Structure 1
């Protein structure tokens, strides 16, 4: 199997030394780097009410990133559909497709992407994760698909049929993906003949089972005649494996806090994370850190590239989407994320090239 294509997933992390504006500025620079290096896609997530994540509004971020890049596909990883009216999502992404034709992906997820209180507020007091919007997710996916078609969709209301179009004169539509971290979306994507991505970077388990379920039950559709998927991974890559492991510490501690119900904070600097590690973690937390280290891609250029190729072959994919999780050391410019950019650079430089050290 040849080397997989590479893409980027960005949660727009906010460090303890950054404002939201700084974090967005760093993301724009990271997207430019990915575009320059030939990455296939640049997706942004949707999360709410989290001190370390500025990716609250994918369509706004996609518009900013699309305007600052020229080749890379831009999209969502993903839009949490139960938080939004299907017509609003269809209009947003149809307009993005009009602005950046042939470059837009709409990744759709079913999870809330936040805590129950914020979820309640996003849905106008309609309830938490078990409310009607979640239960009607398959219907809402169909609505988004239909509303973005250039011919529009007929809406029967009060005895009359009204035509709804996401944009007045569409010439193309975004590529639409279903995302998930359980077998629910795998089954739904297979049933509808849609592309599908399992959140391997977040879940870390169940990936092989979900992909097998998707592939084995896939039903061809007019848009897709065979299963299409790729792998997502967290990655920190540096000039040495030792430095890469050091740079991964802030995000490792952030994920421990998320999984153990600790208060979430802005992303720590590398030095702040080292102080916490030096003071000693509870045994259960230390075990979580080690388990995540084993699942993430952390190392130098040759080691990281080899691991990505191994993962791609293991899961039978020709594309890997990297979430660059390398942190920042004290004194890093607030509007920059050099270690994240370095991760993307080192993953694309031929191993053994004399240019590795000069990027």
Structure 2
């Protein structure tokens, strides 16, 4: 089974943004050497515990020195951006890294409504409008913007009709070399994205790490897939939150900071940098937060290497996939270097030993 990594570049107590990116650089370098298939960074805004806001520039930094792992976005939240800006940025990444670039596209804002409005230039009285002055909702324009983004990355670009029957050819520059255009993936957590990906013949990923309904989404995608430019058969995998440690007890301990964070997000609690595993998180976690966190974690994989491997294999069999993208959510402990993330490194190294031959870093 192929393994890939989703990284939100988490920020914990005592860390600066620079520290968190230094730790994530170790994550991608380790994953590259161990034979992981992809490394994707997310797009989230105005969140104290997440440093990953702009996947394109982050990949340009994090990807330096890697040799084989695919670099991608999980994903670019397209309603926040102009299609040409996305196409040019990922064409540039392909020009630098060749045929190792994935463009994962999502429809969600990746943030709260006010921040989302700010991302789209809607603060104060600013609004996007059409030629008649009617307000435009970028979410409603999502299918059109997906198609435009894909067209702009092709060597021939897209033709924009002008008055008088003329056309203007528009394409991403600098262009990627022939045959190295980014591979697009549509990300989703509902039937909407599954249907759109199937209609456009795009690869599709279900966000199983935070949403239920993957069985339905995958069936919709596979049953309605239309062969096209990206292949004759559906391409798909699922995501999963995961903590692996030498013992079940340590894995559970390291899962608690993320458990608290997700419980607070669900209940409207204070959003802070991730607490440290152990006394730091247990001193602030309420009974309600623990109850909510434990309920949410029922869909996560937390355990020792053999247990985690068995759960991953069951997940792959359930959804009929040969690849799973893990989000390593292992928290840090007191005294661990702020520019490193030993718990997350341990998680991917122990998984590699089970699935990828245990290559030494």
What is the correspondence of 1:139-288 to structure 2 with a 5 Å cutoff? 139-159=144-164, 160-170=166-176, 171=178, 172-203=180-211, 205-271=212-278, 272-277=280-285, 280-282=286-288, 285-288=289-292
Q: What TM-score comes out, normalization by structure 2 length?
A: 0.92
**Alignment match, 1:304:** 308
**Alignment match, 1:294:** 298
What is the correspondence of 1:1-359 to structure 2 with a 5 Å cutoff? 4-125=1-122, 132-159=137-164, 160-170=166-176, 171=178, 172-203=180-211, 205-271=212-278, 272-277=280-285, 280-282=286-288, 285-350=289-354
Q: Per-residue CA shift, 1:302-348, capped at 9, x if unaligned?
A: 11111101100011100000100000001111100011000000001
Q: In structure 2, how many angstroms separate the alpha carbons of the residues matched to 1:330 and 1:245?
A: 16
Listed as ranges, the gaps of 5+ residues in structure 1 are none
Task: Report how far residue 69 of structure 1 moved.
Answer: 1.1
SS of 1:187 mapped into structure 2: helix
Task: Report how far residue 222 of structure 1 moved.
Answer: 2.6
Task: Report how far residue 157 of structure 1 moved.
Answer: 2.9
Q: What TM-score comes out, normalization by structure 1 length?
A: 0.93
The verdict on how the C-alpha distance between 1:63 and 1:168 changes in structure 2, with shifts beyond 3 A counting, is closer
Task: Report how far residue 276 of structure 1 moved.
Answer: 2.7
Maintained 8 Å contact 1:120/1:127: no
Maintained 8 Å contact 2:186/2:203: yes
Q: In structure 1, how many angstroms separate the alpha carbons of the residues matched to 2:221 and 2:293?
A: 30
Maintained 8 Å contact 1:194/1:223: yes
Q: In structure 1, how many angstroms separate the alpha carbons of the residues matched to 2:127 and 2:34?
A: 43
Maintained 8 Å contact 1:190/1:214: yes
Q: In structure 2, how many angstroms separate the alpha carbons of the residues matched to 1:56 and 1:112?
A: 11
SS of 2:67 mapped into structure 1: coil
Task: Report how far residue 127 of structure 1 moved.
Answer: 6.4
CA RMSD of aligned residues (A): 1.9
Maintained 8 Å contact 1:119/1:127: no
The verdict on how the C-alpha distance between 1:196 and 1:123 changes in structure 2, with shifts beyond 3 A counting, is same
Q: Per-residue CA shift, 1:152-194, capped at 9, x if unaligned?
A: 1111234331111202443221000000111110010011111
SS of 1:134 mapped into structure 2: coil
**Corresponding pairs, count:** 347
After the TM superposition, which segments of 4 or more aligned residues of structure 1 sit over 4 Å from their partners? none
Maintained 8 Å contact 1:13/1:267: yes
Task: Report how far residue 350 of structure 1 moved.
Answer: 3.7
